[in-house]
Every structure is written in C-alpha cells, then in structure tokens.
Chain A
C-alpha cells in the first residue's frame, strides 16, 4: 500500500548482471566452477533474471571464454530467466546450441562508443542485431536490447536524449521486448535521467523500459529513484557491486544489488528477492575474488554482525 500511495510501482523486477557485466569488468578472472556456484546461489535468492555470460569471441573478452561450460553447468530454476549476450548471429547460434533461452544485444547512443567498443557504426550494429532478432523470433527466443551511454559517453561527452530515444526505438521495433538504458560511465544525475526518460518514453511504452545505472559518481540510487518515480519498473544491478569502470581507473561501476533492494524494501516495493541471501552470494564471490564488497549495505551489515 505504501508504494501505491506514493505513485511508485508496486513491483520491480531486478535483473542481476553480476555474473556477466560484473565479472567481465573485474581484474581477476574467475574459474568456471566459481562462476557456476555464484549463479546457482543467485538462483536461490528470488531474483527473476540473472545475466549469465556472453557469447563473444574469447579473443575480445577472455573473462567470458567459458561461456558454453557456464551455460551448460548452471542449475536452471523454474521461473528464473538466464539471458546471455549475443553480439551477432554467430554468437546467437552458439548460445542456442549451449541451451540459452533468452539473449541480449548491446547497442549504444554514441557513434564513437559504438566504434571503439564493437568496431562499427550504430547503423551497422543495428543490422547485426536485426539478424539476431530475426533468428530469435523464428525460434521464439526473447531478445533484450541495451542502449549504452544513455546519459553520457566517455568519448563524445554529452549525449542528446533524442539520440537515446532513436536508438531505443530502433531496437524496440526490431522486436526487443525490453530496452535497458545504461548510464555506462555513471555520469548521470536525476536531472539528466529525467530528461532522457522523458524523450524515450515518447517512443517506447514504460513497461518495456529498464535502467542500468553505474555508481561511478555515487549517483546510481538517486538516478534509479528518479526512474521509478517516473514509473520504470525494471532495474539492473550487480551483486556486491561487481564490475569496475573500464573508463575511470579504480572507480566503481555497477550499482550493488544489495543497496538497490535495501532502498526498494524501504519504499515498500516488492521485488521477491531475499536481501540476506544476496548478501551471502556477494560474500561468496568477494571472497573468491579476494576483494571487499562495493555494497554499503553488505559492509554495514557484516560489520555490525546484525542484518
């Protein structure tokens, strides 16, 4: 009742990106069995979607070289989605062969970022994604679309909301069921989040939107709050805040799932996720990575000895 009265969504779907976005951006490469253990633990927390791995050439992303083994090795819990990244048709076929039942494609609102990241223009990348989307449609495989640099680009700087809306619309029209808008370098603030969402919401129904905020400048939760105040009901996050920022050495990246859930719990918003179990999974992976968690909730909780 509390969330309804405030105009916020009653339920928010959390998409856990730690095993892919998180681990891909950690310094230490994690062995396959640890990845599988992490995903299995996350499957028991109530998370409805866990991004498992990336079917990208191991030449480009060595951290995800074991994509087939991970895909085949994890427990698949009923009611939980296990999307994987597929940059092109080849990756898509490989993913399906390994048992994937949902895929993601990664676009960007910045030409420079698109060139630097995947070595082609936005238009060219959309053509590749069209191929994936078409095959996916034939096989009844849902496709999630990501738009990077939605609030700023490490190369271009400011990104116009209209451009984000244009790229989002292109991905949505080709059949992506959901568009995840990513503040890739975490430069956004509630002001730029609001302007960007207003532009995108003209082209895409609210229920098909997600936000993927990075906490590099500490703005993630404030940005997420702004998004949910505007009705967005899908939020990406990473257990223990795994995944640094490749564009700002030593800086943080993904927002921590624990901290997001803490906020949503406090707002009376249902997520179906057990915060304590997520903290335990976070503790597991941080121990394996030999690092301290980026989650403030986990830091505070483990230190007081109370949850």
Chain B
C-alpha cells in the first residue's frame, strides 16, 4: 500500500554537469553559463555546476573555472561541483565553489574502470578532500554509483551499497546520493537497496539519482519517496545519454519528475514552465530533441 509521501522534495539539478558531460556535443562556455543562469531562475535550490576533473579525462568540463566564475549565484541556491581529489578541491575553492561532491561506487570493477583504483583507495582520496572541506567549512555531498547494478559486475548487493554509504556518511558527507548508474533498477530492487541503506544512514540524509535507461526512473523514484526519501536528482531535458548503452537515454528528465511531484501535491518550489523553457534552450544549443516527455507533450498544461 502507498505510504505517506514527503510534503516537500528538494530537486537537485545535475544537467549542467552529469547531463552535459554525457552529451555527444560539447557546448561552449557562454552556453553553459546561460543554462545555469536560466536554471537558477526556475526555483531549483541546487544546481550541480561543473566538475573539477582533469580535462584530459573529461574535456567537456575543461572550462570549469570559467563556468564557476561566470555564473550568477543566486542567494539560497547552492552550486555544488565535483571534486575527485584534493587538487580538484583546491581548484574548486579557488574558483569560488562553496559546496563540493565526491563520487564513490558500490562496485569494485566500476571503480577500477572509472577512476583506476579500488573502493578503499578512492575513500582514502576522499578523506583528504573531507579534511580540507571541514577546515574550510565547505559541505560535501557523497555519491554512490551502481547502487542497483553495475555494467561490469552485474548484480550489486544492497549490503555493499549500505557499507559504502555508511563510510561516506561517517566521513562527513551531509547527504548520500544513491545512483542507479545504468538505470537497470526496478521498484523491487530500489526498495531492497534502500531498506539496507536506511539501517546505516538516516533517510533525511539520503537522495536518489535514477537513470531512465530502461524507463524505470519515475517508478523507482516513487518507491523511494514512499520510503521517506525527499531529495531527488534529475537533469533538465533528460540531458546525458548512457555511456554503457549506445544511443540509450540516461538521466531522468527534471520536467517529468516535477510534473509527477506536482501531481502528488508535493512542494518543490520549481516553476515547470521556466524549466521547460530552459530545456528548450539547451536542446537547441545542443541541436537535439528533448528527452523529457512533458516537454514533448507540451501543449496541455
């Protein structure tokens, strides 16, 4: 039976980072800045701006410093940035970042392939970031990838997800975003995984980051909400394909998420029309169709 849903949900917009990083076309700096500025006007409280990672690895985010310095920072809106290590953290703070994110994974193979080390080693690197962040009073958000399945390992045990989440939370991350990286999860596996994680991390510190590669994202998010999760990541226009399934979709579209939350009477503070306009802008710039069904349908709101 459907349980009581949260009255408010914080939507964390990852389009400018997770979205653009996984698009085929690279977008010029002024377009990125305009995208983030438009998103800032929609009522979103958190917009992931960029990634302080070496441009050798992630060329799409090479302009991280310019983007960080160029955007309008609205009061009450946070602009977290990815920082994979201490060096990235320091560059981020120098560029004006006031919140950072670190990316762990519940899969050894994925960690090895993605950042070329073991889970344990990645947590040691993060520890350095945590120490520096604490000293600078900078909040840190922790991501756990592959929570419902891994492109290399296949099945991932909920206990492993709980273990990695607990470690990152204990290190000092204020929030843990649980990512269904390849979108393979269903309401069944989401429930199982959250049950395990909620034994180790309070539900108020949990977020879900669902990919829509198999069309399951909104159903998975609904289950998470039913279990008390009240922070949901999404990407405007569903930007960002899946690097593991060529041509398949990736992030869930923020418009479609907000549509569902509106229908459930859950407060987000987000203006859906302004969000759709922003999606239209970035899709034109990328010369692609939106992945948001709400945007596609468009005419009956």
Contact = CB atoms under 8 A, between A and B. Distances in A.
B125 interface: no
Contact of B297 (A7, A191, A245, A256): A245
B297 A295 contact: no
Contacts of B249: 296, 299
Contacts of B244: 304
Nearest to B262: A189
A190 interface: yes
17 contacts: A218-B259, A218-B260, A218-B294, A222-B222, A226-B222, A230-B1, A248-B297, A262-B214, A262-B215, A267-B187, A268-B188, A296-B214, A296-B249, A299-B249, A300-B245, A304-B245, A304-B246
Given A216-B297, A218-B294, A189 B263 contact: yes
B296 interface: yes
Interface residues of A, number: 47
Given A225-B222, A252-B297, A263-B186, 10 more contacts: A2-B188, A189-B264, A216-B293, A218-B260, A224-B219, A251-B296, A252-B296, A262-B214, A300-B214, A304-B248
B60 interface: no
Nearest to A193: B263
Contact of A217 (B223, B245, B294): B294
Interface stretch (A19-27, A109-117, A180-188): A180-188
Contacts, number: 132
The interface size bin for chain B is 35 or more
B298 A6 contact: no
A2 to B, nearest CB: 6
A266 B265 CA distance: 28
A65 B104 CA distance: 58
A236 interface: no
B256 interface: yes
Interface of B: 1-2, 183, 185-189, 191, 212-216, 218-219, 221-223, 242, 244-249, 253, 256, 259-260, 262-265, 292-294, 296-300
Contact of B214 (A194, A216, A222, A259): A259
Contacts of B218: 218-219, 221-222
Nearest to B253: A218
B263 A247 contact: no
A103 B1 CA distance: 33
B286 to A, nearest CB: 18
B259 A219 contact: yes
A196 B219 CA distance: 19
A192 interface: yes
B260 A262 contact: no
B188 A299 contact: no
A252 B289 CA distance: 14
B264 A300 contact: no
